[in-house]
Chains A and B, each alone.
Chain A
């Protein structure tokens, strides 16, 4: 393997580091099965509890999009916390920085792994909404929903990784993370909920009315992806 090719697949470049970190995070997840055995059941329980609490098909159908994204946000908090607990349990994050591994690569890698897990989570939640809340989905709505899901999870993964790194070295990080993260992700909650309402046709909203909300989600995703990649190194060093 030539040096250039080998560099591309290892941690000596930003992209190589990102692939290495993402593959490692997903492997850790496959071994520990925290997503499968804890986060996904938690998200489903939240959806079922909402159904019990509201106890009206008409209301549930109307609020289904918001409930999907609320459950996604709560579950994402656990996933972000877990993602950095793995790094701090035995000082691996400090080792990564002290070994001169590019911080931008660490950020992108962790964000990619988190996004992959969030996509699985949101897919399950949408299926749960269709089954439990009888939300209806057309072909055009499905396209909007997939695009919304990908853009919103990208934004959530970016901001989650940034704030997860910020809270990683702090005392009481388990309680600090929700305090930091939830206010910041309000635009994702609003944009994703409105777009999902359009995809489901909730309250007679058409699919075309959902596309403009994707702009908000895209701006959010780009803003936090770029600022996170740039700020992650100084943030970890501090």
Chain B
């Protein structure tokens, strides 16, 4: 699965995320005030912390969506200070919305996202089946799916897009118990296959079972790193 999903060398020892004293500013507000953090390939890292602590900004920095104001930052080997746009197509970020088109079917949505990176039909079909969306579900319009099924469709889009780093902001929000269990098993499967996952969540009990490490962010800084 790993080669089909991500096409990288699982034995690579370079950190996927390597931030050193990273500062990011939103307007005039320093949302990240010197973050140092390393994430290795295949890890599932839980970002915890209160609202406004800088978790989402940290995810957006890793996605190349927020400029690195000071400090050093490399994601997937790309220097964020000089070339942050080039990391975007290798990173998949899902926030509170899924980025899906309600009138299109599950397969059409996954195909659309896959084709943005030139994925083949077999890669797209595999992404759909890996997320348990094949069969009848594959041909249903997304607007008729449950919240959990929509989230899985969005993740299938990340697989089809060959995203190597998955950045998920409150992925359990809006899901029922079954949907949360499904999501956790999908994320574990993705990490086993070589994807690196960073999850920002307030649901520490659930996310602790999923993650291998917890990084606590408070006031734009990493306050605690703990193995789980």
Give the docked Cα–Cα distance between A89 and B161 (Å). Answer: 21
Query: Is A95 positioned at the interface, with any CB of B under 8 Å from its CB?
Result: yes
Beyond A11-B115, A98-B88, is A27–B100 a contact (Cβ under 8 Å)? no
- Select one of A10, A24, A89, A99 contacting B118, CB under 8 A: A10
Give the docked Cα–Cα distance between A27 and B94 (Å). Answer: 24
Interface secondary structure of B, over-half rule: loop
Q: How far is the CB of A10 from chain B (nearest CB, A)?
A: 4
The contact string, 1 if C-beta is below 8 Å from chain B, for chain A 92-132, is 10111111110000000000000000000000000000000
Give the docked Cα–Cα distance between A94 and B92 (Å). Answer: 12
Give the docked Cα–Cα distance between A235 and B86 (Å). Answer: 19
Give the docked Cα–Cα distance between A73 and B63 (Å). Answer: 39
The contact string, 1 if C-beta is below 8 Å from chain A, for chain B 105-120, is 0001000110111111
Q: How far is the CB of A88 from chain B (nearest CB, A)?
A: 9
Write the chain A residue with the least CB distance to B117.
A12
Question: Which range holds the interface residue count of chain B?
Answer: 20 to 34
Give the docked Cα–Cα distance between A24 and B99 (Å). Answer: 14
A90 near B115: Cβ-Cβ < 8 Å: no
Beyond A27-B104, A100-B86, is A92–B115 a contact (Cβ under 8 Å)? no
Number of A-B contacts (CB under 8 A): 84
Q: How far is the CB of A30 from chain B (nearest CB, A)?
A: 9
A94 near B97: Cβ-Cβ < 8 Å: yes
Interface secondary structure of A, over-half rule: helix
- Select one of A10, A86, A89 contacting B115, CB under 8 A: A10
Query: Is B215 positioned at the interface, with any CB of A under 8 Å from its CB?
Result: no
Write the chain B residue with the least CB distance to A32.
B103
Best-surrounded residue of A12, A24, A89, A100 (most CB of chain B within 10 A):
A100
A100 near B89: Cβ-Cβ < 8 Å: yes
Give the docked Cα–Cα distance between A16 and B85 (Å). Answer: 19
Beyond A27-B108, A98-B65, A98-B93, is A20–B116 a contact (Cβ under 8 Å)? yes
Q: How far is the CB of A225 from chain B (nearest CB, A)?
A: 23
Instruction: List 17 additional A-B contacts (Cβ < 8 Å) besides A17-B116, A20-B112.
Output: A6-B120, A9-B115, A16-B118, A24-B104, A28-B103, A31-B141, A86-B101, A86-B103, A91-B97, A94-B99, A95-B93, A96-B116, A98-B91, A99-B116, A100-B64, A100-B88, A101-B89
Q: Which residues of A contact B (CB under 8 A)?
A: 1, 3, 6-7, 9-12, 16-17, 20, 24, 27-28, 31-32, 86, 89-92, 94-101
Q: Which 5 pairs of residues, A with B, have the shortest CB-CB distance? A: A91-B97, A95-B99, A100-B88, A11-B116, A100-B89
